[in-house]
Structure formats: structure tokens, C-alpha cells
Amino acid sequence: MYIKNFDKEDLVIYEWPASETVEPDYQKAFESKNENRYFVTIPTGYYTTAQALGDKLRRELMDTKKEDALLTMLAHSAGGQGAKPPADDSGQQKLFFDYDYQMARSRFRAKTANYAIAATTPDFFKKLGFVPTGQFKPSQDSDSYYMLFIPKKSKVTATAPPELNIYHLMKIYVDCIEETIVANTLTQEIGTVTIPDYRGQYSNVFYNLRYVPLNKNRIETIKMECRDTEGALFPLYGGHVHAVFHLRRCQLTI
């Protein structure tokens, strides 16, 4: 099964030279001829912390910039013009993201360029811990929200904890067993899966099997539900969920 706590987000990231002034009227910056524009997608997935999500954003931006530079070089080569290979940014990180767990503070830092991130809603910024108190501004000509980063002059910070749900327990329920008491509730829960800090495919094996009486003599279908500790359906995405149930014949004694 694949676990998610984040839905795909399509972003537009703008970049200007550090020497260009983009404040106080940041709208004029979007009219600049020196603007570079990158389309970045943060994929659906399980991001264990705000730091992991911020790091993913930075990596996607760096990869997109390298791909654009390579395409530009190939286009020049096809036209008979010489072109330098794309620069390697691996040793020169131009955009940093830090999350302080003790202070619940997110911080973006731009190093050598001005950046602005555009999103269709402020939800993406909230998942990184930023709140709408001047940290990002709605555009006048679109429904996008922008967050601006200026190198050396200012750092975009936020003091709100990120709105990123972390799932560590998953409850499994099946409808063909008798109800049992879990805590102070009658339920058809058959097991609990512990989810590590993990992204991607995950599997779990119960070695100490606990057999529960069935509530029917003849079974045509079995309904299984995966839920979190609050009772909501567990957020799984993509692929398939495979489950194996053990049925054991028990001889009745009178």
C-alpha cells in the first residue's frame, strides 16, 4: 500500500537576479525581462515532516532548472550555435528551507537570487508552517498567491506549526468477525499497523496471530476498512492494497 498525507501541488517559481530590486512594488518584478519562470510539481506522497516537504520543493526546483538549461543547450546546438553545458548547482544551493522543531518555525532563505513561489491557494504555504500574515500576497491579476524571497535582505519566516498530518497507526476492520472490546468500545477491529516515518510502499506482517470468532457460518464477501485513530478512512493512494487473512477451523466442545 502507498500512504499519503499530501496531495499533488502544481507551483510556478519565478527567479530574478539578486541585483534586481523587487521591493517594495513586487508586481513590477513580474514585468521584468530578466525573469525566469519554472513550473514545478510536488507529487502526492507521504512527507513525514515540514522539513521533508520543503526539501522536496527545493530539489524539484533544482532539477527543473537543470532540465531547462539542458533543453536550452540542445536547442542552441541544433541551431548551429555553441552553448555551454548547464551549471551544476549541487554544490551551490540557492534556496534553503529550515524547520525548527522546538520553535515550530519554518524559514526560507534565498542565497543568490530573488524568488517568488506562486500557488493557486495558500494551503501549500500553510503545510510548510506559513500563515497569511504578510508572508504571501495575492496577485492583483490572478487567483494565485505569492511568497517572495529576497537574498541577504530578508528571510521569510513563520511561527505557526505546519498543517501536515502525520500518520503512525492504522486500524484494520473486517465485517465477518464478531465484535470485540477494544478499550471501552465494541468494534470489529482485527489489528493495528504501526506506520514508520516512511515514504512509498509499505508492508506489514503479523507474527503473533490472534484468531477471532466469525459472525457467520458462510462467507461470500469480506469487507475490510483501513482507518486512522480518529476513525477516518486512512489516506492511501495509487497501486493496490493486498491483504491476507488466516481462517482456522475450530472444533466445538460441549
d(CA 178, CA 213): 6
Q: Residue 76 is placed in which grid cell? A: 542552441
Buried b (16+ CB within 10 A) or exposed e, 36-57: eebebebebbbbbebbbbbbbb
Is residue 88 predicted with pLDDT exceeding 90? no
The answer to whether 167 and 195 have CB atoms below 8 angstroms apart is yes
pLDDT tops 90 at residue 156 = no
Is the predicted pLDDT of residue 126 greater than 80, yes or no?
A: yes
Maximal C-alpha separation, the chain:
92
Specify the pTM: 0.68
β-bridge partners, 47 = none
Look at residue 79 and tell me whether its pLDDT is greater than 50: yes
Of residues 3 and 143, more confidently modeled:
3
Listed range (25-34, 93-102, 109-118, 232-241) with the worst mean pLDDT? 25-34
Query: Is residue 155's pLDDT more than 80?
Result: no
Judge whether residue 224 has pLDDT over 90.
Answer: yes
**Lowest-pLDDT choice from 8-22, 77-91, 176-190:** 77-91
Q: What is the pLDDT of residues 49-61, one digit of tens each?
A: 888 888 898 889 8
